[in-house]
Structure 1
Amino acid sequence: MTAPLVIIAVRGEPAGQGNLRTGPKHGKAYHANSKDLSPWRERVRGAALDVLGAHEFRPPTGEDRRLALPCDECGTYRTQHATLLGPVRLEAVVTVRRLKSVTAKWPVTRSSSDWDHYARAICDALTGVIYVDDSQIIDGRVITTYPHVHQHALGEPGAVIRIWNGGA
């Protein structure tokens, strides 16, 4: 296997992007764990921007982000404002905290999210930074583990995200 194009290490308690709930008063959908999910996605996005030395898409001041306008900082349009524009392969090794009461060698408790919830949170966070849209991911893998168990696991909660060009 070829070496990854990008390796991102993210420290902090991972949060999965689970099911949506509907608010009783306003009827809008929201993530039930948004207080944990939003900071996790920001850490993932920030770590990717740091590794790449890139910036987020910035529409012209005062303009609606949905309009087809170029980035105020670099002049690139949103549909081209990412590192990889073609197919992408992604692997994330998500390290979760092992509770003292847990004896299993892998995360099997409800204290951690399902692997696909971590995948959705990570893939959405990297949209617009690594790739224009997460639909570019043609091959994805998420491994959940405890500290120091997997060869790419961190010694503390967080994730190691490795990205390859999907066409290679």
Structure 2
Amino acid sequence: MSEAASAPAAPPATRILDITVIGTPAGQGAISFKGHGKAVHSNHDVLMPWRTTITKAATRALGTHQRVRVKKMPNCRACGKPNRTHGEIAGPVAVQIVVTVKRSPTAAKRGDLWPANRTTSDIDHHARAVLDALCNASVFPDDGQVVALEVQKVFPITPHPDALPKPGATIRVWKLGVPTA
């Protein structure tokens, strides 16, 4: 990981989480409606394992537990804490995400160093998947707390300090404080 990594916002900030997750990154975007009011992500089969991998890594790193939601219950079933405050961080949050995606054969043939084509998910879809997984991991109660977000998408060969040797992501989270005058 890059030693120069700093919060994508003005100090003061306290780094709360710094994890590397290996797996197949999946963006969270299009929703398909299956009838009877059931909606699922169109890439559910790859999205859910990716979010689970991030959630497990974050809960291990922080020593938290995944929020256990039950319909119409306002509290976490595991600990009884209210869902709206269930998280390590209250208040504003800064998040930095570097997603390393698989380099397609076409990109390799062209010599592409960056994933600037339609073979990978949109960068904002990757961010959505990571932020929802961090909420599930009880890092913060709601991704609406994120006031600063830096997301980059790279290949394993991209000249970037946080490019991983295989697909996955480097995720850093800061709790932002009240600036002092």
Same fold flag (TM > 0.5): yes
Shift of 1:5: 2.2
Give the Cα–Cα distance (whole angstroms) in 2 for the partners of residues 27 and 127 of structure 1: 24
Q: What is the aligned partner in structure 2 of residue 80 from structure 1?
A: 85
Shift of 1:27: 5.1
Write out aligned runs for 1:15-164 (5 A): 15-23=26-34, 25-26=35-36, 28-58=38-68, 64-69=70-75, 71-102=76-107, 103-128=111-136, 129-149=138-158, 150-164=160-174
Shift of 1:132: 0.3
Q: What is the aligned partner in structure 2 of residue 6 from structure 1?
A: 17
Counterpart contact for 1:137–1:166, Cα < 8 Å:
no
User: Kindly, what percent of the aligned residue pairs are identical?
Assistant: 39
- Alpha carbon RMSD of aligned pairs, Å? 2.0
Using a 3 Å threshold, how does the CA distance of structure 1 residues 65 and 14 change in structure 2: closer, same or farther? Answer: same
Q: Which moved more, 1:97-106 or 1:45-54?
A: 97-106
Taking structure 2 as the reference length, the TM-score comes to 0.81
Using a 3 Å threshold, how does the CA distance of structure 1 residues 76 and 161 change in structure 2: closer, same or farther? Answer: same
User: Structure 1: 5+ residue runs without aligned partners?
Assistant: none
Give the Cα–Cα distance (whole angstroms) in 2 for the partners of residues 152 and 80 of structure 1: 32
Which letter does structure 2 place at the counterpart of 1:113?
S
User: Structure 2: 5+ residue runs without aligned partners?
Assistant: 1-5, 7-12
Taking structure 1 as the reference length, the TM-score comes to 0.86
Helix, strand or coil for the counterpart of 1:4? strand
Number of equivalent positions? 162
Counterpart contact for 1:15–1:118, Cα < 8 Å:
yes
Give the Cα–Cα distance (whole angstroms) in 2 for the partners of residues 3 and 136 of structure 1: 15
